[in-house]
Amino acid sequence: MDIQAFADRRARLLRSMGRGIAVIPTAPERVRNRDSHYPYRHDSYFYYLTGFPEPEAALVLIAGDSPQALLFCREKDPDKEVWDGFRHGPEAARATFGFDAALPIASLDDKLFELLAGQPVLHYSMGHDANWDDCLVKALNRVRADVRNGVHAPAEIRDVRVELDEMRLVKDTREIADMRRAADISAAAHRRAMRATAPGRFEYEIEAELAHEFRRCGAQAPAYSPIVAGGANACILHYVGNSQPLRDGELLLIDAGCEVDSYAADITRTFPVSGKFSPAQRDVYELVLAAQRAAIAQIAPGQPWDAPHEAAVRVLAQGMLDLKLLTGSLDGVIESGAYRRFYMHRTGHWLGLDVHDAGEYKVGGQWRPLVPGMTLTVEPGCYIRAAEDVPRGLWDIGIRIEDNALVTADGCEILTEAAPKSIVEIEALMREPGGA
């Protein structure tokens, strides 16, 4: 593990804190039912600063002339390790991950009382976990109760995530390498899914192909619940039931990406179940693809966050008029928002440790300008539900095309190119022997 990258991030946060103490806990384990847990996923902020994957841990940073990074974690426990596997314990965690010191998590309450005393500022993000909030409030109140002994409690609490959100927005070399691997594996999974698709197969069978490729290639998990939506299901934006049969003549929309070493990919492809687009499907597909191309052309340093969305909306709205889904003028349907009947989401979001990653989209009331190292999705779509006022040939066509972009010095790089998206490429791939 490249522990230097994590140490550099801690040093940067310590510098920006100026003074005070920061507490950044990891996520709790969650019970699924009775004594079974959901697969554990650490907190992204905690991981960003530590690389430490175990539950029941917290990072404490103390800013000042001699800044310190302390890890609190579980102690070694040979009996529990027989059942649940390896735990570093404080000493190995300190040595392996490069902290100034590491201490048992059981000592945190008493230690926090000592460490908070005399600090002017507590950097902590309230409101995300009631147990941690309670722990911090109790520690603060213990220090406040000690005031007659000349102890000062922090007078200020600042949200440590504000600075971390800014840091997470621009990815470093190590993060980009992880995102490339997530993108490559996810693209391979989409290719596998396309090859495996045929009339009569079920959405869940295709979901299984995605999962197979993710794990076969070493991804730890899907980055979010995969959407495998045949026919009209594609018009349900968060369809995750994945239970229905795939029918000849319908499209299949797949929104799926994996997580590799904690970094996400987020790809959507839409293709015909039969391997061949119908003329109506082709029209809508080419429209969404043109909208995506227009959006991608807007991604460059200095461009406002919203520029790709505006470009996509313009192309999509014109296409909706051409397809007789809407009537009126281009400016009119954009102004009134009439296009939202068929395109109701935005064209992208930040991507990174979280699929909808950290970071503000506006600064000082303005859309934030893109800078090199930012990573975002570009995902226009068009969702046409059956309705009397809609041309019959377009009923139940739902299409989204989603790629992951890295802002570069002079434009952007699409990290997910390896997932085919032109009609020619898709139809060629689907003629290849299937994965079934």
Tell me the DSSP string of 106-149: GGHHHHHHHHHTT-SEEE--TTS-HHHHHHHHHHHHHHHTTGGG
Q: Of 213, 255, 354, 403, which one is the catalytic site residue?
A: 255
Q: How far apart are CB 59 and ligand GLY at their closest, in Å?
A: 29
**400 among known catalytic residues:** yes
- Give the closest residue to 25 by CA, choosing from 1, 49, 8, 5: 49
Closest CB to Mn ion among residues 213, 266 = 266
Binding partner selected for residue 242 from ligand GLY, Mn ion, none, CB under the kind-specific 5 to 8 Å limit? none
CB-nearer residue toward ligand GLY: 184 or 379: 379
Whether 349 is a known active-site residue: answer yes
Shortest distance (Å) from residue 400 CB to ligand GLY:
8
* Nearest residue (CB) to Mn ion, 321 versus 419: 419
The binder of 111, among ligand GLY, Mn ion, none, by C-beta within 5 to 8 A per type, is none
Distance of closest approach, residue 411 Cβ to Mn ion, in angstroms: 21
346 included as an active-site residue: no
Q: Are the C-beta atoms of 263 and 179 separated by less than 8 Å?
A: yes
* Active-site annotation holds for 379: yes
For residue 233, give the 3-state DSSP assignment.
helix
Pair of tokens at residue 124: 């902590």
Give the one entry of Mn ion, ligand GLY, none that residue 224 binds, where binding means its C-beta sits below a cut-off of 5 to 8 angstroms depending on kind.
ligand GLY
Cα-Cα-Cα-Cα dihedral of 98, 136, 154, 141, to 10°? -140
Per-residue interface string for the shown chain with Mn ion, residues 334-373, x marking contact by CB under 5 A: ----------------------------------------
Work out whether 266 is an interface residue with Mn ion (CB under 5 A): yes
Q: Is 183 helix (H, G, I), strand (E, B) or coil?
A: helix
Give the chain's radius of gyration (CA, Å). 25
Annotation says 331 is catalytic: no
Q: Which is nearer to ligand GLY, 22 or 229 (CB)?
A: 229
Catalytic residue among 74, 88, 269, 400: 400
Query: What is the three-class DSSP state of 167?
Result: helix
Residue 88 phi, psi dihedral angles, 5° rounding: -65, -45
Q: How far apart are CA 219 and CA 420, in angstroms?
A: 21
Choose between 7 and 240: whose C-beta lies nearer to ligand GLY.
240
- Rounded distance, CA 256 to CA 175, Å? 20
Q: Out of ligand GLY, Mn ion, none, which partner does residue 158 contact, by CB within 5 to 8 A per kind?
A: none
- Mark the segment that binds Mn ion (CB under 5 A) among 15-23, 235-243, 327-335, 395-403: 395-403
Question: Which DSSP symbol is given to 345?
Answer: S
State how beta strands 31-33 and 156-158 pair: unpaired
- CA 25, distance to chain mean position in Å, is 20
CB of 128 to Mn ion, least distance (A): 22
Q: Determine if 255 is a binding residue for Mn ion (CB under 5 A).
A: yes
Closer residue to ligand GLY, CB minimum distance, 209 or 402: 402
- Name the catalytic one among 15, 128, 247, 356: 356
Residues binding ligand GLY (CB under 6 A): 224, 255, 266, 349, 355, 379, 402
Between residues 119 and 375, which has the closer beta carbon with respect to ligand GLY? 375
Per-residue burial over 344-371, b = 16 or more CB atoms within 10 Å of its CB, e = otherwise: eebbbbbbbbbbebbbeeeeeeeebebe
410 is an active site residue: no
Establish whether 42 is a catalytic residue. Answer: no
Q: How far apart are CA 240 and CA 243, in angstroms?
A: 9
User: Which residues here bind Mn ion, judged by CB under 5 A?
Assistant: 255, 266, 377, 402
Catalytically annotated residues: 35, 238, 255, 266, 345, 349, 356, 379, 383, 400, 402
